[in-house]
Amino acid sequence: MKTIVLANQKGGVGKSAVAVQIAYFFSLVKNKKVLVIDFDHQRNTSKSIKVGNYAKVSNTPSSNLLSQAGLKLDIADSFVLVQADNAELLKMEKKADSHNLYANNLKNFLSTLNNMFDVCIIDTNPNPDIRQLCALVVSDYVLSPIQLNQEAIDGIGDLLNHDTTGIRKIQSAINPKLKFLGILPNLVEPTPFQRDNFKDLATHFSKLLIPLDVGFAAIKKTTAIPEAQALGLPVWKLGKTSGREAWNQVKPVFEKIATMMELN
Ligand SMILES: Nc1ncnc2c1ncn2[C@@H]1O[C@H](COP(=O)(O)OP(=O)(O)OP(=O)(O)O)[C@@H](O)[C@H]1O
Ligand SMILES: [Mg+2]
């Protein structure tokens, strides 16, 4: 099983949208066995996948994956969601004495699923806390959607070098197998401002972008993604021109990610 975490300390950049849509892609397009874990108390990924009804939902809330030792998944299916709870997830940061245990419990839980799933997709909250840290510690890959504004571009330094949850810190100190798939510009608009920011990124951070056959991976702003997310639908099943157009753009990005994760 390959584990990928969506992580960025910036909120509203598309972590949950990408988590849900790439889960549908792996399950329905690539016929992979998919486990989704939602560690965000906002529960956006959980809500969307539950509405869509493509996945079986575990009765275990995601906080238990961190707090309980020896936990086993309660259902067997080819597409499973471990949904986020709220109060328990929010309490975890304060329980500093248990933080090491949380990471170990999650690692052990995932190791019991190695032969049951091909891919585990973890969505995280936008705060650099223990939940995000645990997800980064157990993952093989990290993908970071960003928006093309100056603040987000300035935040790339933190994304890589933040004291506790910076990707480079985690790679060097705790999880050397973690591979950074890259930053994925999302909600891209055809304004001169964003075009200039993209050019800037491509000049200064080209190694952090995901190369496609032509140019770099990016997802345009489209009404199709929030609509698909609200209905819990794969964007290509929205049954609208906007959905098909969005999918034409997103599919090569997801195919490239599958290749990078050796999941073809
Ligand atoms: N390419 C896109 N075009 C238009 N809307 C988008 C796109 N990607 C995501 N959205 C919408 O933008 C909003 C924020 O996206 P999302 O919830 O995925 O971000 P997030 O990074 O998970 O946020 P948070 O940090 O709060 O968890 C959602 O309403 C989502 O449907
Ligand atoms: Mg989210």
pLDDT of 194-242, one tens digit each?
A: 999 999 899 988 999 999 999 999 999 999 999 999 999 999 999 999 9
pLDDT per residue as tens digits for the range 90-138: 999 999 999 999 999 999 999 999 999 999 999 999 988 999 999 999 9
pLDDT > 70: percent of the chain: 100
The overall longest dimension of the chain from CA atoms, in Å, is 53
Minimal-distance CA residue to ligand 1 atom 28: 226
Instruction: Choose one of 184, 225, 238, 248 to mutate for the ligand 1 pocket test, by most ligand atoms within 8 angstroms of C-beta.
Output: 225
CA of 230 to the centre of ligand 2 (A): 13
Domain 2-260 annotated CATH 3.40.50.300: yes
Please give the number of the atom of ligand 1 that sits closest to the Cα of 145: 21
CA of 149 to the centre of ligand 1 (A): 15
Average pLDDT over residues 243-252: 98
Identify the CA nearest to 110 among candidates 74, 59, 71.
71
Q: What are the sequence ranges of the domains in the chain?
A: 2-260
CA of 90 to the centre of ligand 2 (A): 15
Report pLDDT for 149: 87
Token pair of 9, please?
């300390």
Strands of the sheet containing 34-38, edge to edge, are 56-57, 79-82, 34-38, 119-123, 2-6, 141-146, 179-185
Write phi, then psi, for 104 (nearest 5 degrees): -65, -40
Who's near 203: CB < 8 A, 6+ residues apart? Answer: none
Of the listed ligands, the closest to the CA of 10 is 1
Please give the number of the atom of ligand 1 that sits closest to the Cα of 229: 31
Q: Cβ(73)–Cβ(81) under 8 Å?
A: no
| Beta strands, E only, the chain | 2-6, 34-38, 56-57, 79-82, 119-123, 141-146, 179-185
Ligand 1: which residues within 6 Å by Cβ? Answer: 11-17, 40, 42, 44, 126, 186-187, 219, 221-222, 225-226, 229
Of the listed ligands, the closest to the CA of 15 is 1
Q: What separation in angstroms does the CA of 102 have from each of 7, 67, 92, 93?
A: 18, 6, 9, 10
